Homo-oligomer: A and B are copies of this chain.
Amino acid sequence: MGAVKGKRMPRAVREQQMMDAAVRTFGQRGYRAASMDEIAELAGVSKPLVYLYLNSKEELFTACIRREAQALVAAVRAAVEPGAGVPADRKLWAGLAAFFTHTAEHPDGWAVLHRQARTHGEPFAAEVAVMRDEIVAFVTGLIDAAARETHSEDELAETDVAGLAQALVGAAESLAGWANETPGIGAKEAAATLMNFAWQGLGDLMRGERWSPGGGG
């Protein structure tokens, strides 16, 4: 990936090359199955150099998680214009679109975050949990904002909002995988599907309409 196996390069550059290789390898093979040998070779460096710069496999993986998480959050943040006048649904839509776009463009990074990091025990799961919580909080804020914009009389209970945000984020994660492997479904289509699915229900909810096991559909 453009990582010319050259001689001396500044440390920062080499480090990025290594992490590129690592993200790719971890994303495709998984944390345990990826070998430092393979990463070093893909990076065009000798193994001791990887250790010199990144200390251990664990630290390398953590560094990858952090880098990819920050990139994803930054992409979503950048898409949601902080303009005061923009309504909450537009903001949510923009964020979702950015999310789907970014995950589609960085499949290995997304695999590291969504698949690998969460499957391999505490040190790593905690790392992604931070990012996910950040996003959930962000979505929660949008839902609250929407509630205020609607001037709904019933305040949504805090727990409800939390659950809704969880569901929305979970649905988005699921759709990201689906969109990437379904031809004809791009970021825009996935975002629209999710808005249709969620936003209308959210609106009803805010107007006090609730589904209950007893009532009619």
Contacts and interface: CB of A to CB of B under 8 A. Distances in A.
Contacts of A121: 29-30, 33
A119 B118 CA distance: 10
A217 B88 contact: yes
Interface in A114-164: 115-116, 118-121, 146, 149-150, 159-160, 162-164
A217 B163 contact: no
Interface stretch (A8-16, A39-47, A54-62, A166-174): A166-174
Interface in A176-201: 178, 182, 184-185, 189-190, 192-201
A185 B197 contact: no
B185 A217 contact: no
Interface stretch (A66-74, A75-83, A102-110, A208-216): A208-216
Given A167-B193, A193-B167, A211 B178 contact: no
Which of the four size classes fits the interface of chain A? 35 or more
A115 B128 CA distance: 14
A155 to B, nearest CB: 15
Contacts of A48: none
Given A32-B32, A174-B173, A185-B163, A196 B203 contact: no
Contacts of A36: none
A170 B168 contact: no
Contacts of A93: 213
A175 B194 contact: no
Contacts of A209: 200
Contacts of A192: 211-213
Contacts of A63: none
A97 B184 CA distance: 33
A211 B199 contact: yes
B211 A164 contact: no
A51 to B, nearest CB: 13
